[in-house]
Structure 1
């Protein structure tokens, strides 16, 4: 018989932050995995209503906004909400700081790492392998 108590929050192993070294910075950034609930909230914010056929509104998903949202949410160091850091880049807000602070290749590395540590890459790889067979 299984022991369902292994699934109780206090018995679940917590994930350690993961460091990602980006070439331009002397220190590594620190990332944390995202929960499904956090991903769902970000996902919901990435739908926009746009005019569609015959004047009807259509919900359109913005994958760029989603990748940026999960990246920003997972960065725990440096604190993208720090006003001094935002001021140094001349922006306000964590998402604007992310856009100003990281080059597109760095943003891609961050997004890939977040997907990896949050388990998103495993599901996609499994689906690809399954489709091949």
Structure 2
């Protein structure tokens, strides 16, 4: 009997999708949590080389692109890769559709929910308060 039984792939609970209601839409948006591998892949694509001091290249992280990528990858419904939906907004690609489809406040709500369901909702301030008590 393995001492790691609970961690074996067949014994791990499947991450569930979560619905989110945005006022402008009659239907719910379905979100899934991201695995660390998915987040890493998005992270890798968010660095740019820019000229720095004395002409040296510096790697700069694009936070906006990362947040957009994380949110777009988390949306199960509507399918942001659907060609008809992209065409209706005059864009190509899931991230471009995400940027056109949602207002700034809606995007913030989606990001908040995605971070929560992906296990990033606890802030360091909460940990500090818990430690004090």
What is the TM-score when the length of structure 2 is the normalising length? 0.92
User: Within 2, Cα distance between the matches of 1:121 and 1:38?
Assistant: 18
Give the gaps of 5 or more residues in structure 2. Answer: none
User: Within 2, Cα distance between the matches of 1:17 and 1:129?
Assistant: 26
Which residue of structure 2 aligns with residue 128 of structure 1? Answer: 125
Cα root mean square deviation, aligned: 1.6
| Greater share of residues in helix | 1
Which residue of structure 1 aligns with residue 8 of structure 2? Answer: 8
Give the gaps of 5 or more residues in structure 1. Answer: none
- Displacement after TM superposition at 1:3 (Å): 2.9
User: Within 1, Cα distance between the matches of 2:14 and 2:76?
Assistant: 15
Which residue of structure 1 aligns with residue 28 of structure 2? Answer: 28
- Displacement after TM superposition at 1:15 (Å): 1.3
Which residue of structure 1 aligns with residue 59 of structure 2? Answer: 59
User: Within 2, Cα distance between the matches of 1:83 and 1:26?
Assistant: 21
SS in 2 for 1:13: coil
SS in 1 for 2:66: helix
Which residue of structure 2 aligns with residue 73 of structure 1? Answer: 73
**Number of residue equivalences:** 130
Runs of 4+ that moved beyond 3 A: 129-133
SS in 2 for 1:59: strand
SS in 1 for 2:91: coil
User: Within 2, Cα distance between the matches of 1:109 and 1:69?
Assistant: 15
SS in 2 for 1:68: helix
